[in-house]
Amino acid sequence: MQKGREITGLPVVSLASGKEIGSVDDILWSHPDLKIRYLVVGEHYLPFPGISAIGTDAVTISGPEVLEEQAEEQTGEPDEEQGLALKSI
């Protein structure tokens, strides 16, 4: 298993097109259970279940449709409304 600092900076590649969509800017994990919830890719959130694989050279996803937009008016992290305390590395 890779450490967070090894994942940050990796390119995110779509398996559908083979193209690079962006790179991992940050990792958001839930504080109570220490599970990764999202990768931050530019202006998008990538939910952990949407990840196909995390390798040493790239993170792969099925396609860009798994990315969630960050709303301009969003003041906190995703899932704050659900009571999850998310932390960044």
Domains of the chain: 4-66 (2.30.30.240)
Which pLDDT value is given to residue 84?
52
The span from the CA of 83 to the CA of 68, in Å, is: 19
pLDDT at res. 76: 56
Residue where the block lists tokens 């991992």: 24
Average pLDDT over residues 63-73: 83
Residue 69 corresponds to which tokens in the numbers above? 């937009």
Higher per-residue pLDDT: 4 or 68: 68
In angstroms, the CA 27 to CA 83 distance is 18
Report whether 12 contacts 39 (CB < 8 A).
Answer: yes
For β-strands 11-14 and 59-61, DSSP reports them as parallel
Q: What is the pLDDT of residues 21-66, one digit of tens each?
A: 999 999 998 887 888 899 999 999 999 999 999 999 999 999 999 9
